[in-house]
Amino acid sequence: MKKSHIIAAVVLSSLFLLTRFFNLAKSPVWEDNFSWLYRLNYYPWLIETNFKGHPEPGKDLAYTGRISYHPGVTVMTLSGLSTRIGKKILTASIPSYKSCLYNDTLCPYLQQELFIAKLPLIILYAILFYWCLMLVNKHFGLTTQIIFGVFILAEPIFYQTSRDLHLDFLQAILITTSFLLILNKNRVLGGILLGLTVLTRFSSIFFLPGLLIILVIQDKKFYFAWLKTLLAAVLTFVLCYPPMLVAPISTLKYIVEGSGTSSGITTYPAGFLASYVNGFSVYLSQAFNSVNGVSYIWVASFLLSVTYLCIKIRFVPEKHRLYYLILFFGGYLLFLNISDKRFFRYLCPILMAASILIGYVSSVVSQQIIKLFILNSFLRNILSKYSR
């Protein structure tokens, strides 16, 4: 079927949308959810009062750059706008409705507010997921597309993060789509999505070294490709984040300083090397955590895929796409481990890329099995014919 990849993408993205809507309002409420409920209510209001020309004293555009260091602008904007509209609907339909206060776990309308805040994110995820599936098929084939899609759809870590009011899944799906677009030499659109990824989580700048290496390999005039991609990303970041237009230095300083804050979840002997090396052991132990880690199916698939790659796959030009994948996301992991904040959900982009790798290896293996089966059938027919 010539359109099988479109059918697969439609089915998988539709299932993604349906499963994320299921019981969405009653998904676990974590402490960070309250932080984001506060930010997404506050941020759009501050932007509006400033653009209308009558901000509160001390609450100018420069101040809005100090609401969140992540900076989480994509979440605050999309969820903030849907929350404003949703609250008007709740006020009109429920006379007793009162907006939930920050960290009010007993608020009777907390679930409604969470649902309203998550609604635009879920819809955006489904659109990006469809786009991502189509690009995966273009670069890695139908089998890879389906296996990758099933993992994103059903793997617990992706299921949990895509239903949470946070940054992790949005960062992962944005950067994966950006990478696949850049792989397709669509540098401007890829750069725009890269800019949105950095607006979501600033640590996404750690993808830039890997991106530069890819462009150097991919294009003889890599400096034009690099400039085009970087310019699109920077313009997106600046134009979509008003504080950058009036106070770029103080805003970036706040983001960088905030990003380096210790979480207190890891303690090591003094010294950078000890912290860096032991950081990987922290991620590894979290990976096998039954609550927040990955499934044994994913782990087994990943280990088998890596083993197969080490034994069978040779470094030939035709397989550059796979090496680009490893360079881009592997480089991010190396830089990300510099921080002493190590939550497993930060690795969502790595897990998403690894799921593409698993799909690719499965595709290669399945093709070899089919060829072997056809060859065996052919040999059996010949032997049967001449043994009579």
Domain ranges of the chain: 4-386
Token pair 């776990």 is found at 105
Q: For residue 287, what pLDDT band results from cuts at 50, 70 and 90?
A: confident
Report pTM: 0.91
Give the number of other Cβ atoms within 10 Å of residue 139's Cβ.
Answer: 18
117-121, 157-161, 338-342, 352-356 — which is least confidently predicted? 338-342
pLDDT in tens, 79-90: 999 999 999 999
pLDDT at 269: 54
Higher pLDDT, 229 or 262: 229
Q: For residue 108, what pLDDT band results from cuts at 50, 70 and 90?
A: confident
pLDDT at 377: 65
Question: Looking at residues 154-178, what average pLDDT do you find?
Answer: 95
Q: Does position 265 have pLDDT exceeding 70, yes or no? A: no
pLDDT at 31: 66
260-269, 283-292, 341-350 — which is least confidently predicted? 260-269
Q: For residue 387, what pLDDT band results from cuts at 50, 70 and 90?
A: low
- CA–CA distance, 26 with 112 (Å, rounded to integer): 9
- CA–CA distance, 72 with 193 (Å, rounded to integer): 14
- CA–CA distance, 134 with 136 (Å, rounded to integer): 6
| Average pLDDT score, the chain | 87
Question: Looking at residues 262-272, what average pLDDT do you find?
Answer: 58
Question: Looking at residues 272-300, what average pLDDT do you find?
Answer: 84
pLDDT at 99: 87
Question: Looking at residues 29-33, what average pLDDT do you find?
Answer: 70
pLDDT at 81: 94
Q: Does position 173 have pLDDT exceeding 80, yes or no? A: yes
Return all residues near 285 (Cβ < 8 A) that are at least 6 apart.
none
Please check whether residue 313 is in contact with residue 322, taking contact to mean a CB–CB distance below 8 angstroms.
yes
Q: Does position 266 have pLDDT exceeding 60, yes or no? A: no
Token pair 């696949």 is found at 180
Q: What is the DSSP string of 142-202?
A: HHHHHHHHHHHHH-HHHHHHHTSSSSHHHHHHHHHHHHHHHHTT-HHHHHHHHHHHHHHBG
pLDDT in tens, 181-235: 999 999 999 999 999 999 999 999 999 999 999 888 887 888 888 999 999 999 9
Q: Where are the alpha helices (DSSP H) in the chain?
A: 4-21, 31-51, 61-64, 73-93, 110-140, 142-154, 156-162, 168-183, 187-200, 208-218, 222-239, 243-246, 248-259, 272-287, 296-312, 320-336, 348-386
27-31, 76-80, 154-158, 222-226 — which is least confidently predicted? 27-31
Question: Looking at residues 374-379, what average pLDDT do you find?
Answer: 64
Q: Does position 247 have pLDDT exceeding 90, yes or no? A: yes
Higher pLDDT, 323 or 145: 145
Q: Which of 146-150, 255-259, 291-295, 380-384 has the highest mean pLDDT?
A: 146-150
Cis peptide, bond prior to residue 317, ω within 30 of zero: no
93-97, 153-157, 248-252 — which is least confidently predicted? 93-97
Q: Does position 240 have pLDDT exceeding 90, yes or no? A: yes
